[in-house]
Structure 1
Amino acid sequence: MIEEPAAAEASLDPMRARLLAALAEPGSAAMLAARLGLPRQKVNYHLKELERHGLVELTEERRKGNVAERVYRATAASYVISPAALAAVSPDPARSPDQLSARWLLALGARLVQEVGSLLTGAARARQRVASFGIDARVRFASAADRAAFAEELSQAVTALVGRYHDESAPQGRDHRLVVGLHQIPAIPTTDPPAAAPAPTTDPSAPQED
C-alpha cells in the first residue's frame, strides 16, 4: 500500500513500473538492463529512486572483479496507491451520501482501499492476519425495474442483518464496516474492425430514405 505522495509519483513513472514488475524476481541493474533493453546507468538511477521510497530493497551485494553488483527485489508482489496519497483531494463518503450516486460509491471504494490498506500494513508489521470477508458476484438484470427491486430487497436484508447483530454496548466489541456496492460492469473495448455496411438494395419495393 503506497501512502506517501512521493512514493506514488515514483511508482507511476512508466520505466519504474516496468522495473517493479521485473523485480518480482531478484535482479541487478545489469540483469535488468539486458532484459529490458535499457542503459545500465539509467536503470541504476531508477533503482536508487525506488529504493529511496521503499518500493524495492537490497537483497544481496556481490563482487564481480572490481565491481560491486547490487541485487534488488520488489518489496511487494503488487502495489496499490492509497487515496491518502492525495489526502487533500481524495473523495469523502461523508460528503453528500447518496445510495444512487456513482460518485458516492467511488468514495466508499476509496475509503475501503485506504482503511484495508492501513490494516494490512499494520498487520504485516505485527505479523498478524486481518479479519475480513468479501463477496464478489455478478448479476444480469432484465430491466431497470428489476435492478431497482433488487437494490431495495438487498437494502432491506442488509439493514435487518445489521440490526440483528449490531451491539453498541458490547464492552469487548470491535467495530466493522460493511460496504455493499452494485455497478454496471464496464464494456471491454474490442479491436475488431467495424462491420461492413450492407450493400444498397436494388429492390424497387424496398423503402427508400429521404
Structure 2
Amino acid sequence: MLDVTVIDDPAAAEASLDPVRARLLAALAEPASASTLAARSGLSRQKANYHLRALERHGLVELVEERRKGNCTERILRATAASYVISPTALPAVAPDPDRAPDKLSARWLLALAARLVQEVGTLIAGATAARQPLATFAADSEIRFGSAADRAAFAEELNGAVTALIAKYHDERAEGGRPHRLVLALHPSVTRHSEQHHSEQYHPEQHHPEQTSGQTKET
C-alpha cells in the first residue's frame, strides 16, 4: 500500500467523494472482505459489495487474496493507498492556472501554484511508479514566528534574493543531459485554533507593501 497517491481521473474522484465509499476506503487501510465491512459499517452485504466494486473499478481498492468460505469464495480487498489527494486534472475545465493570476503577492496565486504542484508531482509519481524508478525530489517544511509584518516582508525579500542567487549559480542551459526542475517557494501564516479570530488583526495589507518579492504573499 502506498502512503499517499493522487487521483486524477474525474470518475475516480467522484467515487472517492461519496461519503459511504470514503468510509470504506478508510476502513480498508487493513485488508477486509465485503461481509466484514458490512458488519462494521451497518451496510447490507450487497450494498457493501456495490460500493467496493465501484472503488475497485477506479483503482482505489485492490484484491489481496481470495479465500474459500464454505461454498463461497470470499474476496479480501484493501485500499491502494493510506491517503488520497485529488488532482486539479480531475476538474480540467476549472483547474487553477497560475498563468491566469498575475498577482504574485496574492494568496490565491499561491493556491494556484499549490494546485499545479499536486498535478505535476502526481504525474511524476505515476510515471516513476510505472517505470519502477525512484523520483528525485526535495521538500522542506518549517515554521517561523515574525515579530511584525515588516519583519515578514524583509524575510521574504532576503529569501527571494538568496534563492535568486542560487538559481543563477546552478542554472545551466548548456549542460548535456541536464533536466529542468521546478522550484516553488511559499510563505503563509500558520493555521491555528485562533487564526480565524485574529486573522484581520495580525497582518493588515496596509502595514507593508512596497513591491516585494514573488515569494511573499498577502491575505486576500
TM-score for both structures, normalised by structure 2: 0.83
**For 1:15 and 1:32, how far apart are their aligned partners in 2?**
11
**For 1:96 and 1:134, how far apart are their aligned partners in 2?**
24
Match of 2:42 in 1: 37
Match of 1:92 in 2: 97
Pick one of 81, 87, 91 that aligns with 1:82: 87
Pick one of 9, 13, 29 that aligns with 1:4: 9
**For 1:96 and 1:57, how far apart are their aligned partners in 2?**
40
**Stretch deviating more after TM superposition (36-45 or 86-95):** 36-45
**Stretch deviating more after TM superposition (160-169 or 70-79):** 70-79
Asked if residue 16 in structure 1 is aligned to residue 10 in structure 2, the reply is: no
Per-residue deviation at 1:171?
A: 2.0
Per-residue deviation at 1:62?
A: 2.3
TM-score for both structures, normalised by structure 1: 0.86
Per-residue deviation at 1:2?
A: 0.6
- When the two chains are superposed, the root-mean-square deviation of aligned CA atoms in Å is 1.4
Give 5+ residue unaligned stretches, structure 2. Answer: 1-5, 196-220
Match of 1:202 in 2: none
Q: Secondary structure of 1:80's partner?
A: strand
Per-residue deviation at 1:99?
A: 2.4
**For 2:140 and 2:150, how far apart are their aligned partners in 1?**
24
**For 1:189 and 1:51, how far apart are their aligned partners in 2?**
41
Asked if residue 101 in structure 1 is aligned to residue 106 in structure 2, the reply is: yes
Per-residue deviation at 1:51?
A: 0.8
Asked if residue 185 in structure 1 is aligned to residue 184 in structure 2, the reply is: no
Asked if residue 26 in structure 1 is aligned to residue 31 in structure 2, the reply is: yes
Asked if residue 70 in structure 1 is aligned to residue 75 in structure 2, the reply is: yes
**For 2:69 and 2:156, how far apart are their aligned partners in 1?**
64
Q: Once superposed, which parts of structure 1, at least 4 consecutive aligned residues long, lie more than 6 Å away?
A: none
Give 1:97-176 correspondences, 5 Å limit.
97-176=102-181
**For 1:163 and 1:95, how far apart are their aligned partners in 2?**
27
Summarize deviations over 1:153-194 as a string: whole Å, max 9, x none: 11111111101100111121100000000011123369xxxx
**Stretch deviating more after TM superposition (110-119 or 31-40):** 31-40
Larger Rg: 1
Higher relative contact order (CA 8 A, sep 6+): 2
**Stretch deviating more after TM superposition (155-164 or 60-69):** 60-69
Q: Percent identity?
A: 71
Structure number with higher helix proportion = 2
**Stretch deviating more after TM superposition (53-62 or 138-147):** 53-62
**For 1:97 and 1:26, how far apart are their aligned partners in 2?**
47
**For 1:132 and 1:99, how far apart are their aligned partners in 2?**
24
Give 5+ residue unaligned stretches, structure 1. Answer: 191-210
Per-residue deviation at 1:136?
A: 0.5
Q: Secondary structure of 1:91's partner?
A: coil
**For 1:166 and 1:132, how far apart are their aligned partners in 2?**
17
Q: Secondary structure of 1:33's partner?
A: helix
Summarize deviations over 1:13-33 as a string: whole Å, max 9, x none: 111111111111111000111
**For 1:188 and 1:36, how far apart are their aligned partners in 2?**
32
